Amino acid sequence: MSNSNVPMPPPRPGPPRIRTLYFAFGSNLHLQQMAERCPNSKYIGRATLPHFRWMINQRGYANVVRAEGYWVEGLIFEIDVEDERRLDKSEGVAKQCYVDRDQNVIAPCYRKTYETMIVHRAPSALLRRPVPWIVAKGGPRKVKDEALKQGYSLREHHQSKKEHVLVYWSPDFTRDAHPKREYIKRINNGVRDASVLGMCPDYVENMIRPFIPPDGQATTGTHVYPVKKEKIVSPAISRLPRDEGGAIRIQQSDFQDYQVRERSQGLPRLPNRPQTSRLTRSRSLANRDPYRSRIGKIFEYFST
């Protein structure tokens, strides 16, 4: 007897996919970076973490520290177990870093905690949208513009209090410091996306800008950031003859004039350059005191 007409039992449902709310306040505000690190993440909205302060710690990365009367603004994402594992790796939960090298004190780069915060749910056009989808559409600004054209409302949903929200922060690295150079661009990318999604401009100006300068600027607020030092030109070099392009031009007569003064006034004699190989000559010139070199003597001559 054939069993072809017997209906098959429905497939057993797999284990429920556990999803966690994650609060981003640093470089993960940039949706493109968030999509790369957590490809299964979904955007929920923006959030406010009360009684914490945003800062750059001595490692050169963003951190939050407990501070009464302050708050931290960021974005809320919904992530699964796989995304959380990737975040643990990228945030350095298992990585040990030096807190104090002199006393050989080490601690994890970041620790995982679960905090209570105020969540502002995103408009319907963005709520629970996969982050890679938002990035593929051209970013949050283009998604919002397209939603307006189609008649969608961009009004946020009512705010609510959420508990047990995942936050990566370090209670060990809490000293204010300068950011790493490559990190400045990443934070600015995140600030641009977060500003489109509703981050308050006053918060950016008062809490982030004292540590992170805007694009194209080297200093901001109360912190001075390391910039490339300008080349200092000594007065002797500035008096050397130059051509129309600004290059220094020293004629053979300048050497001869110095040799005349050398004989008449007892100046230090200029040694002739030895006939050595190119490699040996470059090493000797690199290790030679510039004030004892031939060109250094000419600079001294023109400075008198």
- Consult the annotation and say whether 24 binds a ligand: yes
- Consult the annotation and say whether 27 binds a ligand: yes
Question: Which one from 73, 78, 84, 91 is the annotated catalytic residue?
Answer: 91
- Residue 60, burial from CB neighbour count under 10 angstroms (0-12, 13-18, 19+): middle
CA angle 69-74-78, nearest 5°? 130
Contact predicate 267/261, CB 8 Å = yes
Contact predicate 152/123, CB 8 Å = yes
DSSP 11: P
In the residue annotation, 230 being an active-site residue is answered as: no
Nearest to 117 by CA among 5, 255, 232, 21: 21
- Consult the annotation and say whether 25 binds a ligand: yes
- Consult the annotation and say whether 22 binds a ligand: yes
295-300 CB contacts, 8 Å cutoff, 24+ apart: 295/250, 297/258, 297/267, 297/268, 297/270, 298/250, 298/254, 298/255, 298/258, 299/234, 299/236, 299/237, 299/240, 300/236
Which tokens is 66 given? 């407990």
Binding residues for substrate: 22-27
Enumerate the active-site residues. 91
Binding residues: 22-27
